[in-house]
Amino acid sequence: MKVYQTNEIKNIALIGGAKSGKTTLAEAMLFEGKVINRKGNVDDKNTVSDYRDIELAKQNSVHSTLMYTEFDGTKINIIDTPGFSDYVGEIVSALSVVETAVLVNNATVGVDATTENAWRQAKNTNTPVLFVINQLDHEKANFDQLVTQLKDNFGDKVTVAQYPVNTGEGFDSIIDLMLMKMIKCSKDGGKSEILDIPESELEKANKLHLSLIENAAEGSEELMEKYFADDTLSIEDMRLGIRLGMRTRAIFPVFAVSAKHNHGVARLLEFIEYSCPTPTGVAGERKSATGKIFNSKPEDPTNLFVFKTSIEPHLGEVSFFKVYGGAVEEGMDLINTRTGNKERLSQLFVVIGKNREKVAKVCSGDIATTIKLKETHTNDCLAHPKAEDEALEPIAFPEPTIQMAMKAASSSDDEKMGSILHDMHKTDPTIHAGFSRELRQMIIKAQGELHLNTIKWYFDNIHKIEIVFYAPKIPYRETITKSARADYRHKKQSGGSGQFGEVHMFIQPYSENMPKPTDFPVRNKEEHELPWGGKLLFHNCVVGGAIDARFMPAILKGIMERMERGPLTGSYARDIAVYIYDGKMHAVDSNEISFKLAGRFAFITAFKNSGPKIMEPVYDVEVRLPEEMMGGAMTDLQARRAIIMGMDSDGKYQVIHAKVPLAEMHKYSTTLSSITSGRGVYSMKFDQYVQVPTDVQGKLLKAYEEEQEED
């Protein structure tokens, strides 16, 4: 395998809708570069990228796939990403290591929700974008209409670099506005002819050519001066201007192809080679935690970043990495900047889908894989000892949008289920799973129902474990609203030493400015920050030796145990001040267990007499959706007990800011998708705990009582 130098490498990610033809375009690119000698077909289930069992079954991409092609001596690394937004983690990780996002559009569909999601992720990662309008051979293809939609949605910097002469089943001719030539495509997908532009197209071509030149000239002041002086730019200057403009997201060229018939693909690869940003430019930069900029300079100390992990049969963990400095050689020892431990890269591979080819060296800017790293995972850096303190900024994966409780149908599979979920998180960091001690449930968080269904598919078909998803419990909190007194005597005699302890306590709601009781002195005060939020203040007010000080920790323990399972619903209790002001003990029968139990039951009685209230978690929710769909979304939010805090506009979109109880957000992602035809997105962040309405508290108490009776 040839070792490609940094100046011979380009990195692109194919992003876009689920039916835009990304996988077919990748196939055509590999075929054009003679990396494969026969094009596969999605319907025939023999493409390079969609090779996994789940992708063959569903006939769409689920995981990103790394491959490469070669064009005119340049290695073009291609990452084919899934189209559905539920697999956003795959898109984000790919965009974090490429210099160009090729946003593929279906000429018959237009700008749909998945196109908008792809654009949004490229914008979030500040990745240059090249639009490719695909499937122009379809009878319903409409290039001009789609370009108008692209401009309306993504701005006037969307610039036509090519347009088709004849869309539909006979599509075979493209006007290239950089070359100012017509590309006549061969019917069999072979080499195209380069012809003069027909007279009938000259006026349109000249107008669009001028627009392309003007946008290219904005790439630098020097180019602008050339343009003003000469009224035009050479092809070399246009390439430079477009590359500079793409680097700063000041221009988004549009290309026309039919990947199925290989029309326009060679010219697209040529454009990527000569006009798209390079690994050493601004678009290829990545910062370290200390602010140092890495942009794949060969002279820098070796530094690589792991952006993806997969687990392959017979191989174990496969680590996908990009080199951001120096070069990586087989057998090299590098330092994991997170752990400080040494890792040896015993083998290096370049991959084309499921096929791997060994390589002795990988240069800066290139993307490759290695296997069997001990402690290195996604978002880790491996660096030369001279640069081991320079950890590159991790990929910021999006927060989950849906959470469910899950369990194995057979309890004997619980341990295995946990291990599988751990491996799933390694390969997809947007999957979060863990057992909640508070809720006593296994909670899994993902990007949507399709994401959850994908997880279930793996359990059903690969691991052969039946799992069940169900609604998770809500992490309520319990507190009190007024003060109360209570006492409890624990007395037990069954021969020999008995048990005796009596506790008198006063409790009140905790707040910073709460009134202090004046009818008993405070001898000792303990303030406990609770792990689940809020505080417990514990006061020893006993005088005259009614309770020995050595029993106070036992009383506190009894109270704390009950706060971990509140008296109302078994939820955590918080924000309570407790005063132990009297009690009794026995010289022989008093012990720690006696006072722990006395303290616990006195607390339960006092709690129930102090105006107890259930508190629920409320989240700040931000919903972004098209303006015309506001009505349905607002109505739905209000039905979820939301408090609308305000609205902002973002182009053609509106952003709703609301505070919504977590209990009302179950399956909101599905509802929002239905209301907005998939165009709405939302995020949520914990805000605070607030008291539930009286009617809601009544329902919760009744449900808890029924649950206890069943148990």
* Residue 290: CATH number of its domain: 2.40.30.10
The pLDDT of residue 388 is 62
Q: Does pLDDT of 416 surpass 90?
A: yes
Contact (CB, 8 A) for 122 and 15: yes
Residue whose entry in the numeric block shows the structure tokens 């978690």: 617
Position 675, amino acid: I
pLDDT for 409 beyond 90: yes
Token pair for 330: 């087989």
- Given a cut of 90, is residue 349 above it in pLDDT? yes
* CATH (domain of 504): 3.30.230.10
**Is residue 394 assigned to a domain?**
no
Place of tokens 């029309």: 263
User: Does the pLDDT value for residue 510 go beyond 90?
Assistant: yes
147 and 237 assigned to the same domain: yes
Say if CB 295 and CB 280 are below 8 A apart. Answer: yes
- Higher-pLDDT residue of 495 and 179 is 179
Residues 64 and 151 in one domain: yes
**303 DSSP β-pair partners:** 325, 383
Cβ atoms of 358 and 1 closer than 8 Å = yes
Do residue 69 and residue 159 come from a single domain?
yes
- Judged by average pLDDT, the poorest of 74-83, 452-461, 507-516 is 507-516
Number of domains in the chain: 5
Q: Which of 355, 387, 419 delimits the end of a domain?
A: 387
- Mark whether 153 and 218 lie in a shared domain: yes
Residue 537 has pLDDT above 70, yes or no: yes
Across residues 177-194, what is the average pLDDT?
Answer: 90
Where residue 208 sits, what CATH number does that domain have?
3.40.50.300
pLDDT of the residue at 69: 97
669 and 691 co-located in one domain: yes
User: Could you read off the pLDDT of 114-128 as tens digits, one per residue?
Assistant: 999 999 999 999 999
Q: How far is CA 157 from CA 126, 132, 152, 161, in A?
A: 15, 15, 10, 12
Structure tokens at 471: 């609604």
The pLDDT score that the predictor gives to residue 495 is 67
pLDDT exceeds cutoff 80 at 386 = no
pLDDT of residue 711: 61
Domain presence at residue 350: yes
- Same domain (yes/no): 257, 208: yes
The answer, yes or no, to whether residue 700 has pLDDT greater than 70, is yes
- Number of other CB atoms surrounding residue 291 within 10 Å: 8
Mean pLDDT of 587-614: 95
pTM, full prediction: 0.90
- Beta carbons of 621 and 665 less than 8 angstroms apart: yes
SS3 319: strand
- Three-state secondary-structure class, residue 447: coil
pLDDT of residue 389: 67
Q: Is residue 376's pLDDT more than 90? A: yes
Q: What is the overall mean pLDDT for the chain?
A: 93
670 burial type by CB count under 10 A (0-12 exposed, 13-18 middle, 19+ buried):
middle
**3-state SS assignment for residue 532:** coil
Which class for 5: exposed (0-12), middle (13-18), buried (19 or more C-beta within 10 A)? middle
CB atoms near residue 583 (< 10 Å): 24
Task: Give yes or no for residue 709 having a pLDDT over 90.
Answer: no
Give the model confidence (pLDDT) of 188-234 as tens digits. Answer: 777 899 999 999 999 999 999 999 999 999 989 999 999 899 888 99
User: Is pLDDT above 90 for 475?
Assistant: yes
* pLDDT surpassing 70 at residue 631: yes
Q: Determine, yes or no, domain membership for 217.
A: yes
Does one domain contain both 154 and 264? yes
Going 236 to 242 to 245 to 250, the CA torsion angle's sign is: positive
Same domain for 618 and 585: no
Residue 474 has pLDDT above 80, yes or no: yes
CATH code, domain with 435: 3.30.70.870
Q: Which amino acid is at 249?
A: R
Give pLDDT tens digits for 350-361: 999 999 999 999
β-pair partners for 503? 488, 583
Split at pLDDT 50, 70, 90, the class of 459 is very high
Per cent of the chain over pLDDT 90 is 81
Give the SS3 label for residue 570: coil
Q: Is 296 helix (H, G, I), strand (E, B) or coil?
A: coil
- For residue 710, being part of any structural domain is answered with no
Domain boundary among 555, 571, 604: 604
- Are 304 and 188 in the same domain? no
Instruction: Determine the structural domain holding residue 666 and report its residue range.
Output: 614-696
Q: Read off the CATH number of the domain in which 685 is found.
A: 3.30.70.240
**Residue 708: how many CB atoms within 10 A of its CB?**
10
pLDDT > 90? residue 637: yes
Domain boundary residue, one of 470, 494, 522: 470
701 within domain boundaries: no
pLDDT at 387: 67
**Distance of CA 29 to CAs 18, 71, 79, 331, 349, Å?**
19, 9, 12, 32, 20
Q: Please indicate, yes or no, whether residues 295 and 356 belong to a single structural domain of this protein.
A: yes
Are residue 356 and residue 497 in the same domain, yes or no?
A: no
pLDDT interval class at 517 (50, 70, 90)? confident
Same domain, 114 and 216: yes
In this structure, is residue 674 part of a structural domain? yes
User: How far is Cα 473 from Cα 467, in angstroms, rounded to an integer?
Assistant: 18
Strand intervals (E) in 237-292:
252-256, 286-287
**pLDDT given for residue 284 in this prediction:** 87
Residue 704 lies in a domain: no
Is 392 a domain residue?
no
pLDDT in tens, 544-563: 889 999 999 999 999 999 99
The pLDDT > 70 percentage for the chain reads 99
Among 88-92, 290-294, 591-595, 701-705, which stretch is predicted with the lowest mean pLDDT?
Answer: 290-294
703, amino acid identity: A
Position 77 pLDDT exceeds 80: yes
